Amino acid sequence: MDRDEVGVAKKKSSSRAWLKEHHDDLFVQQAKRDGYRSRACYKLLELQDKDHLMKPGMTVVDLGSAPGGWSQVSADLVGHKGRVVASDILHMDNLADVEFIQGDFTEDAVFERILQAIDGESVDLVVSDMAPNMSGVAAVDQPGSMYLVELALDMARRVLSPGGSFVTKVFQGEGFDELFRDTRDSFDKVLTRKPKASRPRSREVYLVASGFKGR
């Protein structure tokens, strides 16, 4: 077996292992029973339980929303009098009480559509569960993930109302401490959370920032 064949075999073995882990995952099974779009729903539900992020009538912006798990949870929590605006480069199937805007929110045209969806008003909460396509090379993946978090933080600063909150996935590693300090400059309180639905071996954690100081 040559080097290329060994590489292909390793990839197939890794894929099979991931599929088995995914199939056996208790949160995946629970999501199917509860009618949620993804296991990630339980991450946001735990953050909600601990930090009381959402209340009925709130306006929420969900960045990197596909396949829609966090939007689904948000819509349930803010109710019919609330508003959820979701955005992703990828397609997302329709959800009740969620307005989806497909495109890159860093582009002016897409950002304007988001502003139109919220009637040009400030919002109560910005959430982001975005992550780049992982290559397995830390020197590539970590800067890519930090860049997405910085984009989400910039978006939050542009649309949040004073006192608003921001939640984002972030991977611990190079740049994390600087990001934490940068976030604290804009919010009264910043916490790091590791929900139970976040796989133990993963470096992912969530920053929960509350009390936006305003622009």
Catalytic residues: 169
H or E element in which residue 173 lies: none
Backbone phi and psi for residue 87, each to the nearest 5 degrees, phi listed first: -145, 140
**Rounded (to 5) percent helix, strand, coil in the chain:** 45, 25, 35
Question: How far is 182 from 176, CA to CA, in rounded Å?
Answer: 10
**Checking DSSP bridges between strand 123-128 and strand 83-88, what pairing results, if any?**
unpaired
Interatomic CA distance for residues 200 and 145, integer angstroms: 18
DSSP code per residue over 14-58:
HHHHHHHHHHH-HHHHHHHHHT-S-TTHHHHHHHHHHH----TT-
Q: Scanning the structure block, which residue is given the tokens 């608003």?
A: 164
- Tokens encoding 154: 């910039």
